[in-house]
Amino acid sequence: MAEWNAFYHNEDEDEEQEEGEQTSGDYKVTGRDSLVFLVDASKEMFIKGEDGELSNFDMTMQVVRSVYTTKIISSYRDLIALVFYGTEQSKNPRNSFKHVYVYHDLDEPGATRVRDLDALLGDKGEKLAAETMGSGETSLGDALWCCANLYSDIKYRLSHKRLMIFTCRDDPHGGNSTKDRQAHTKARDLKETGVMIDLMHLMKPGGFDVSLYFRDIVSPAEDESELGLQLKPCDKLDDLRKRVLAKEQKKRSLARIKLILDEGINMAVGLYATAVTARKPGAVKLYRETNEQVRSKTRTFQTQTGSLLLPSEIKKAQVYGKKKIVMERDEVDAIKKFDDPGLYLIGFKPMEKLKLHHHIRPAIFLYPEDDQVKGSACLFSALLKKCSEKNVFAVCRCTPRRNIPPRFVALVPQKEEVDDGKVQTKPPGFNVIFLPYADDIRNLDIPHCPIASPIQVNKMKEIVSKLRFKYRSDAFENPVIQQHYRNLEALALDMVAPEETDDLIMPKVEQMDIRLGPLIDEFKNMVYPFNYNPDVKPAAKRKTDDGGGSEKKPKVEVSEEELKNHMKNGTIGKLTVPLLKDACKQFGIRVAGSKKQELIDALVAHLGS
Amino acid sequence: MARSRSALVLCMDVGFSMSNSAPGDESHFDLAKKIIQKFVQRQVFAETKEELALVLFGTDSTKNPLHRDDQYQNIIVHRHLMVADFELLEEIENQIHPESQQADWLDALVVCMDLLQTETKGKKYDRLNIALLTNFSTASSSDNLDIIIGNLKKAGITLQFFLPFPLDEDEQGGEDGDSRGPGHQGAGKGLSSEQQNALSMMKHIMLSLDEEEGLDEVYSFRNALQELHMFKRIETRPMAWPCLLTIGSSLSIRIVGYKAVTEEKRKKTWMTIDAQSHQSEDVKKETVYCLDDDNETEVQKDNIIQGFRYGSDIVPFSKVDQEQMKYKHDGKCFAVLGFSKRNLVQRHLFMGNQVLKIFAAKDDEHAGIALSALIRALDELKMVAVVRYAYNRSSNPQVGAAFPFIKKNYECLMYVQLPFTEDLRQFTFPSLENNKKVTPSETQLSAVDSLIDSMMLVEEDENGETDDLFRVHHIPNPDFQRLFQCLHHRAVNPSAPLPPIEPWLKAALERPEVISERCRAPLEQIKKNFPLTEVEKKKPLKTSAQIYGKDSGESDVKKAKEDVEEGEYNLADITEGSVTSVGSVDPARDFCTLVRQKSLPFGEVCQQLTQRIEQLLSNKNTQYYMKSITCIQAFREQSVKLENAELYNSYIQSLKSSVPSRGLEVFWDLLRQDALTLISRDEVEGSTVSKYEANQFLVAEEKEEEAMAASPAGDVGDVDDLLDMM
């Protein structure tokens, strides 16, 4: 059995190898992140604003809910807890703390928990909170102690621990110095065990004075500027959400490599993925009887003898010019090696030389790692400053990991930007833009382009101006992913139907039409002749295409002999994909993909050459 | 689908004059053969469908269909029209040799024409081409020239000539002498009368075929080889994507999209084969499923259903349900959501891995005008269209931006995907400007300033024209080049190891030499002004979280110390004063404490200490060496104090004897600098070592060390650095 196990491979292993070059956004998980929301439930939190503004409590709950749902999508393995303090009722593991109510202990967020949170929203939520928890005395020290216990009960390895305090009271104990001191001690204990404590202070009449009490509770900011404490209190939902999200996301580098100016001048930098295409998560396989998750194992064996194959008994091959060219597995890797990992500086170019359309992959972000090479941050900072002053970008040869062929990248300087609330909107560093090689640029036959007259252009300008809006990169949710999670939510919670999703990337045609009014017709009159209908032609054409195509070709089958002939002459590539597919079916060959090459490879393998 | 089809005849002169060459020069024959080899190689790896034939002339034997009596002699059709393969490459390598006859190149041309005509009969070809490689050394008659030209024109056959000398008189001046034939001063002067004659005939043919650019198809061997050194890029035919661009409900413009830039992947994947039989069908991969229990109970495929995670919950969700409930849309679409300022769309937030170029539908003048109006309006307003894009019904819709793009000879929209909310990760990083520790000084800034100036890859000449020294989009993907190089090498030499990367490719990936020269001094300045010190390598940290907030050097050293120890090191042990054994954190202090406490016999404490020392020395690292030195120092001091020299002396003697075998020369050097020699009789009465012996103990080592000088050279540098730092 033991031997058997040794040859099981991870199913995805090979795919990973193929895609290894891509810097995907997935990190190796070495532990779980955890986040504790410690929310003040005192009466002050429930006071509504004058013009029906949300109460601080309501606002907090909305933000907490959105963190739950984003975590479910982005990193469901992270642990979240929700604890209230200043409550009348108490509920905690050993009920040893008064006025602390653990609503959710540290666990993975799930559907039920989201529902629980929904119940705390709005007026109904306020009522429920009053009924179940009420507002009472405050002891932040007890609350922090209770949170510390939550951590110690966890059996997982935690990689990152964060605790966020939401409150609008800057002097929670009303001057009770014993309680103040106790809370300070507990906060220090927590910080010593690696918990980061953040304060999400909310609006209160007369302003929130951080220095009054909370200064010593929270963890010092990562940099000297003490950005965290200079923040104004939040009074808007969006601000709070932004602030929480910014803190909540743990940044992990994709790789830490050297930025090499020349031999002997190496800075350490980290690569971070700031925009990664979110995909629907893959399905998990379950055992029908128990709905229990099953593991998959892949083994490789010799079809003739049935014995398992050791890695050394396997080689790799490709066929070119009718010849099978064989390599060792490590040679296949060795071919991909050009440099040791690193960013090798080639030179600089003026910004306008960076072509907008030279885009092949999402960019990544570069930030110095002073703890690996001391002095990196200083040189990096100087480089950043000068590049942006001189409006140039750096060209580097980039090898992110071992055995990955190099790509050239542009390092585009990005200065730090903060918004009114002093929340960082753009971090300082370089954006790494991947540049295409000659092979990546396709030759197109440029069609004839007629040019519009100035009057026509001006009319279009009017149209464009009518439909102006301010683009924000975070404004569009992915309808596919949203629908998927709504469906899961509905199934998980036995709902009758999934919640409706708004398709935000659907044009709001009616509104657009109203805004444009007669402009559209005016423009059409200028550019289109009478009875020209752009909608009809392609549709009609497609019809004839489809109809004609299927009639003309009543399934041509290729005989084995023909196929062999094609193989011999190397002309098999001339056959169309449908033909090849049919041929595969004919011989009962199962093909993993539907790419032409895969089909051909399968056929060649089957018929032998 | 009409695939383009083309046929090419390579027609090579192998006659005796081809093998003549001046000493040291490659013969014309060798050059011509190289060209053919490189060319066929490229065809093989690009997997073009172009069919190739090979005709040789000047051969000793004759084998061609036109051969009658003394007509068309010494011409061989070596290979008929066929897709290029390794067999052909091997034949070229092994079967083509210089031969001793001569044949008329015009006759050879006629054989090629005949071959093309007979072998392509009844099939449709887009391109018929003949490439002739010769040095024109044979006399040929121009009698039938006009008939030949007429036939070439009629059949639509194009010609290419490859000659050992450049055609152009002007070109010669700039060319290196070596590109010309042996003994020739210049093409015009040095050529024989036959060659002159043939040249003018060739010019006549080429200009008759194409009046203007005919002579562009005449190449010199040298130029051709330069062009051919890289493997051909694999051509992909752009697929047109017809669609409607819509603004609101009633304005549609017929458009067609093409992928313009996209990351090309290797077209072929490696197949797994059995090492012995080299057959892929002998290897089978099988996936089994099992429960996550102790027995790893296997589960049959039929008993597996699919589910999805919703946070901590796993929701069973059948494929049928999923298909039915999933997001559906109306299919293909390019609909404007609105228009926005161009600068709001940030370059670093481009998503996806392609850029589409959007043109108006072909042959639709009206669509062309309408699209042009949009492109120009956007360009003048500096705006972009934000659009919903869906390739087809089964693909997921995207949000993206369409940028106006106006070139001299064409204009279009360029579409790039933009992120969804879910794709973004808002990371915050510590400010670099507000942090005094990392703020560069004025001197440092000016060093960087001049570095940037010296390394500008784009230069402007007096005429205001810019010259880019490093165009990434002109470099062929090195991954493909290297792969093909290795595959080719392996195919031709199955048992040889893989070749090194080709020099031209290596050079193409490096900093241009001009820049390297220019930036040398500024780089020196950078080196001087920016101290960069590598923080001691340690075991890879378990999590990145541990790094954050711990950026002071001290904690790193502490970590390094902690890592030495196998078990967990507990801070409490020391602070509370309950030292029970010699720990690894501060063994010297533990040792002293234990000796003072006298709770353990001296011998045992010493043994514990020496174990720690050994442990430390197993890490060949100056930091650990220093710690060991402290231990030995303590050992010596305590031994002297307790007047027990025996344990110390015997340890240090055994340590000395193990120095060469363990490569501890650097460490020993440190020990000597601290004069930690044997304890002599002068210090402790019971010692068996005399003062002289003690002094010699370390000195002797010195000599020995010098004798075997070689190994530690590299490490010594480290020690010096370390000492300087301290």
Query: How far apart (Å, rounded) are the C-alpha atoms in residues B206 and B445?
Result: 61
pLDDT per residue as tens digits for the range B377-419: 999 999 999 999 999 988 999 999 999 999 988 999 999 999 9
Reported as a pLDDT band with limits 50, 70 and 90, residue A546 is: very low
Residue A271 binned pLDDT confidence (cut-offs 50, 70, 90): very high
Cβ contacts of residue A174 below 8 Å, gap of 6+?
none
**Is residue B723 assigned to a domain?**
no
Please give the pLDDT value at position B421: 86
**A·B CB contacts under 8 A:** 721
Confidence of residue B653 (pLDDT cuts 50, 70, 90): confident
Q: Which one-letter amino acid corresponds to residue B145?
A: L
pLDDT of res. A592: 64
CATH number at residue B408: 2.40.290.10
d(CA A33, CA A75): 9
User: Can you give the CATH number for the domain in which B510 is found?
Assistant: 1.10.1600.10
Of the pLDDT bands very low, low, confident and very high (cuts 50, 70, 90), residue A226 is very low
pLDDT in tens, B437-455: 788 999 999 999 999 999 9
Full domain range(s) for residue B35: 6-168+193-231
CA distance A406 to A397: 6
Instruction: List C-alpha distances in Å: A282 to A155, A285, B402, B424, B611.
Output: 26, 10, 31, 20, 52
B163, β-bridge pairs: B220
Please check whether residue B47 touches A, CB under 8 A: yes
Question: Across the interface, do B369 and A313 touch by the CB < 8 Å criterion?
Answer: no
Q: What's the average model confidence in pLDDT over B21-50?
A: 83
Does A289 contact B at CB distance below 8 Å? yes
Q: What's residue B708's pLDDT? A: 41
C-alpha span between B372 and B380 (Å, rounded)? 12
Q: Is residue B517 assigned to a domain? A: yes
Closest-CA residue to B265 (of A338, A402, A21): A21
- On whether both B376 and B504 belong to a single domain, the answer is no
- Please tell me the distance in Å from B115's CA to the nearest CA on chain A: 18
Share of chain A above pLDDT 70, in %: 84
**Alpha helix positions (H), A193-310:** 227-230, 237-248
Predicted confidence at residue B540, as pLDDT, reads 45
C-alpha–C-alpha distance, residues A392 and B454, integer Å: 13
Q: Are B287 and B319 members of one domain?
A: yes
Q: Are residues B219 and B285 in the same domain?
A: no
DSSP code, position B658: H
Task: Count Cα neighbours of A553 within 13 Å in the Cβ-side half-sphere.
Answer: 12
Convert the pLDDT of each residue in B570-598 to its tens digit: 333 334 456 778 877 788 888 888 888 77
B399 and B344 assigned to the same domain: yes
Question: Above pLDDT 90, what percent of chain B?
Answer: 25
One DSSP character per residue, B256-270 reads EEEEEEE-PPPS-PP
Give the residue on B whose Cα is nearest the Cα of A473.
B419
Could you tell me if B167 and B187 are in contact, meaning their C-beta atoms sit under 8 angstroms apart?
yes
Q: Which residues of A touch B477 (CB under 8 A)?
A: 405, 437-440
Output the CA–CA distances (angstroms, integers) from residue B607 to A473, B554, B601, B614, B617, in the order listed.
66, 30, 10, 10, 15
Question: What is the predicted pLDDT for the residue at B537?
Answer: 61
Work out the average pLDDT over A236-262.
75
Residues 6+ apart with CB under 8 A from B36: B10, B12, B54, B92, B96, B133
User: Are B449 and A390 in contact (CB < 8 Å)?
Assistant: yes
Task: Decide if B347 and A412 are in contact by the 8 Å CB cutoff.
Answer: yes
Q: What is the 8-class DSSP label of residue B680?
A: P
On whether the CB atoms of residues B357 and B411 are closer than 8 A, the answer is no
Question: Higher model confidence: residue B21 or residue B1?
Answer: B21
pLDDT, tens only, A127-163: 888 888 888 888 888 899 898 888 887 777 777 788 8
pLDDT of residue A246: 63
Contact A30 B325 (CB under 8 A): no
Q: Which chain B residues are closer than 8 Å to A284 by Cβ? A: 306-309, 314
- In tens, the pLDDT along B662-698 reads 777 778 877 777 778 888 888 887 788 887 788 777 7
* Nearest Cβ partner for B344 among A276, A445, A471: A471
Q: What is the pLDDT of residue B715?
A: 34
In this structure, the answer to whether residues B416 and B486 fall within a common structural domain is no
On whether both B377 and B499 belong to a single domain, the answer is no
The mean-pLDDT minimum among A278-292, A327-341, A503-517 falls in: A278-292
Question: pTM for the whole thing?
Answer: 0.70
pLDDT at A311: 78
Query: Is the Cβ of B527 closer than 8 Å to some Cβ of chain A?
Result: yes
* Distance (Å) from the alpha carbon of B40 to chain A's nearest alpha carbon: 10
CB B138 within 8 A of CB B194: yes
Mean per-residue pLDDT of chain A:
80
Q: Are residues B208 and B254 in the same domain?
A: no
Long-range contact pairs involving A71-75 (C-beta distance under 8 Å, separation at least 24): A71/A35, A71/A109, A71/B311, A72/A109, A72/A110, A72/A114, A72/A485, A72/B310, A72/B311, A73/A278, A73/A481, A73/A485, A73/B422, A74/A278, A74/B422, A75/A33
Q: What's the CA gap between B353 and B262, in Å, rounded?
A: 6
Instruction: Summarize the confidence of residues B308-327 as an average pLDDT.
Output: 83
Q: Are residues B121 and B82 in the same domain?
A: yes
Same domain, B206 and B336: no
Number of independent structural domains in chain B: 4
- Provide the total of helices (H) and of strands (E) in chain B, helices listed first: 24, 21
Residues of A with catalytic roles? 28
Q: Render pLDDT for B173-205 as a digit per residue (tens, 0 to 9).
A: 333 333 333 333 344 456 778 888 888 888 888
For residue B215, the distance in angstroms to the closest alpha carbon of chain A comes to: 25
Query: Cβ contact (<8 Å) for B427 and A331?
Result: no
Inter-chain residue contact B472 with A450, CB threshold 8 Å: no
pLDDT value at A556 more than 70:
no
Which among B626, B631, B575 has a CA at the least distance from the CA of B607?
A: B631
Give the number of other CB atoms < 10 A from CB of residue B188.
12
Residue B432 lies in a domain: no
Q: Give A538-551 as a DSSP string.
A: HHHHHHHHHHHHHH
In this prediction, residues A220-240 reach a mean pLDDT of 57
pLDDT tens profile B122-144: 888 888 889 999 888 887 777 78
Q: Is residue B708 included in any domain, yes or no?
A: no
Coil, helix or strand at residue A505: coil
Question: What pLDDT is recorded for position B700?
Answer: 52
Minimal Cα distance from B388: which residue of A?
A505
B630: CATH: 1.25.40.240
Residues B595 and B624 in one domain: yes
Q: Check whether B257 has a pLDDT greater than 90.
A: yes
* Residues contacting residue B551 through CB under 8 Å, at least 6 positions apart: A370, A371
ipTM: 0.75
For position A608, what pLDDT does the model report? 61
Q: Are residues B518 and B378 in the same domain?
A: no
State chain A's maximal CA–CA distance in angstroms. Answer: 95
Helix (H, G, I), strand (E, B) or coil at A199: strand
Interface-testing mutation among B85, B308, B449, with chain A (most A C-beta atoms within 10 A): B308
Contacts of A71 in chain B (CB under 8 A): 311
List the alpha helices (DSSP H) in B26-82: 28-46
Are the Cβ atoms of A452 and B372 closer than 8 angstroms? yes
pLDDT given at position B716: 34
Torsion sign across C-alpha atoms A422, A423, A428, A434: negative
Q: d(Cα A426, Cα A441) in Å, to the nearest integer?
A: 31
At residue B66, the 3 state secondary structure works out as coil
Q: Tell me which residue in B476, B490, B553 faces A325 most closely, judged by beta carbons.
A: B490
- Most A CBs within 10 A among B87, B327, B334, B336, hence the mutation to make, goes to B327
Tally: H helices and E strands in chain A = 19, 19
Residue B20 lies in a domain: yes
Give the minimum alpha-carbon distance from B200 to chain A in angstroms, rounded to a whole number: 36
pLDDT at A580 exceeding the cut of 60 = yes
Q: Crossing angle of helices A56-74/A111-118, nearest 10°?
A: 170
Sign of CA dihedral B60, B66, B67, B69: negative
Find the CB nearest A325 among B246, B380, B491.
Answer: B491
Higher pLDDT, B684 or B157: B157
Query: How confident is the model over B50-95, as pLDDT tens digits?
Result: 899 999 999 998 998 888 888 888 899 999 998 888 888 888 888 8
Cα separation, A527 vs B370, whole angstroms: 6
Asked if pLDDT for residue A424 goes beyond 50, the answer is: yes
Statement: residue A606 has pLDDT above 90: no
Between these two residues, A367 and B705, which has the higher pLDDT value? A367
> Residue B92: which CATH number?
3.40.50.410
| A320·B45 Cβ contact <8 A | yes
Nearest to B422 by CA among B392, B398, B401, B403: B398
pLDDT for A408: 96
CA B380 to chain centre: 40
Evaluate if residue A234 carries a pLDDT over 90.
Answer: no
Instruction: Provide the shortest C-alpha distance from residue A520 to chain B (in Å).
Output: 6
Percent of chain A with pLDDT over 90: 25
Sequence-ordered alpha helix ranges (H) in B642-710: 646-662, 665-673, 691-707
DSSP state, A218? S
Flag whether B704 is in a domain: no
Judge whether A398 and A406 are in contact, CB under 8 Å. Answer: yes
Cα(B426)–Cα(B414) distance, rounded to whole angstroms?
27
Q: What is residue A235's predicted lDDT score, i.e. its pLDDT?
A: 62
- Is the CB of A523 less than 8 angstroms away from the CB of B530? no
Q: Are residues B59 and B201 in the same domain?
A: yes
**What one-character DSSP code corresponds to residue A9?**
B
Tell me the pLDDT tens digit for each residue of A350-360.
999 999 999 99
CB atoms closer than 10 angstroms to residue B223 = 14
| Predicted pLDDT at B630 | 85
Residue B147 lies in a domain: yes
Q: Do B388 and A334 touch (CB under 8 A)?
A: no
pLDDT over threshold 70, residue A552: no
- Say which of A367, A456, A505 has its CB closest to residue B337: A505
- What integer is the mean pLDDT of A294-316? 83
Apex B33 CA angle, B32 and B37, nearest 5: 120
Instruction: For residue B157, count other CB atoms closer than 10 A to its CB.
Output: 21
Look at residue B229 in the predicted model and tell me its pLDDT: 67
Neighbours of B723 (CB within 10 A): 12
Q: What is the mean pLDDT of chain B?
A: 80
Question: Quick one: pLDDT at residue B386?
Answer: 96
Residue B177 belongs to a domain: no
